Amino acid sequence: MSGRKLKGFLVPFLLLFFLFFIFGCQLPPQAPPEDGGVEGVLQGLEVHFLDVGQGDSIFIQTAEQNILIDAGEKSQGEMVVDYLRGQGVEKLDLVIATHPHSDHIGGLIQVLTDIPVKEVLDPAVVHTTKLFEDYLTLIAAKDIKFTEGRAGMVRDLGGAVLEILHPLAPTSSALNDASLVTRITCGHISLLLTGDIEKKSEREILDRGVPIKSTLLKACHHGSSTSNSPQFVQAVAPEAVIIMCGEGNDYGHPHEEVLETYSRLGVAIYRTDLLGSIVVSSDGETYTIAGEKGAGPAENYYEPDFELLGSVNSNRYHRPDCRHIADIKAENIIIFQSRKDAEARGYIPCKTCKPVG
């Protein structure tokens, strides 16, 4: 059944637990488009990865629609509104809140207040915070259509197609894994936007066999090692990855092993903490990526600043700080200049120190 509009004001806490039963709705699953995107004349696509510090905010623009995914922390709301207005945005056709953590929905308070929004797509899982309550109350007060997002939904954006790939049955006990995962296709160019899903959800998506191979990938969970498994990244097979994280953030994002995974797989790395806001432009055949503080990713590739070690009596290679190095006699140690060097000589990564993530 199509989405119904939220009516009236929401009573804190108790009614929150019944929100998606009362107000949620779900469009019937539709067959996702085949790779190659929308038929007919392509109007082009721009995807803006806004630098909101340690958080996510992604603005998608086609010839016909304006879509916003998340808006960072509440303190970033005014900046997001100013950015959208700078792009000539007078209204938003769709706002997607990937999940109810503050670094994703906080800034939406200002966005929903200042910019007319036609519809909000949300996983409809409960988070008992004042911020989440304010977010829901504002949707109700503005009489904005509220739709429960689920895997299988497809939207024609006019020149591009948006698919929801995840979740199937989210719960409030795992909010990161409740994240809405979207895939945008414009002609032969596709982008996979993953919210904060972790390895559990990555495995679920892989097990379901849905098409996830994409030209570009928004790294899961700000480049955390709790996500971005090599198996998932290999399945997506992106040419480039955009990592959204704050400069000097308290979590150490992106994690070293994640950078190593992307670098080892030959994926160009773009980071908002280094490049500021990043804009992807595509005509459906080719694409460009431009950072606010620079155009290219070369300085963002990750290469370990250490040599790798092995033994003449083993087929494993290690980080220098691996505990197994102490067991190798000095005369048996082999020094490799790179992973390529080690693997060309038949060595494989140690499972303890995980030199390749």
In the predicted structure, residue 151 carries a pLDDT above the cut 90:
yes
Please indicate whether residue 328 or residue 103 has the higher confidence score (pLDDT). Answer: 103
Which of 6-20, 148-162, 249-263 comes out lowest in average pLDDT? 6-20
Grade residue 341 by pLDDT with cuts at 50, 70 and 90: confident
Taking the model in full, what pTM does it have? Answer: 0.75
Q: For position 36, what pLDDT does the model report?
A: 36
Is 15-300 a CATH 3.30.70.260 domain?
no
Which of 8-17, 91-100, 136-145 comes out lowest in average pLDDT? 8-17
Residues 188-224 as b/e (b if ≥16 CB within 10 A, e otherwise) read bbbbbbbbbbbbebbebbbeeebbbebbbbbbbbbbb
In the predicted structure, residue 34 carries a pLDDT above the cut 50:
no
Domain segments of the chain as ranges:
15-300, 308-349
Q: For position 88, what pLDDT does the model report?
A: 95
Within 10 angstroms of residue 296's Cβ, the number of other Cβ atoms is 12
Q: For position 294, what pLDDT does the model report?
A: 72
Q: For position 119, what pLDDT does the model report?
A: 98
Please indicate whether residue 304 or residue 308 has the higher confidence score (pLDDT). Answer: 308
For residue range 99-134, what is the model confidence (pLDDT) as tens digits? Answer: 999 999 999 999 999 999 999 999 999 998 999 999
Q: For position 38, what pLDDT does the model report?
A: 32
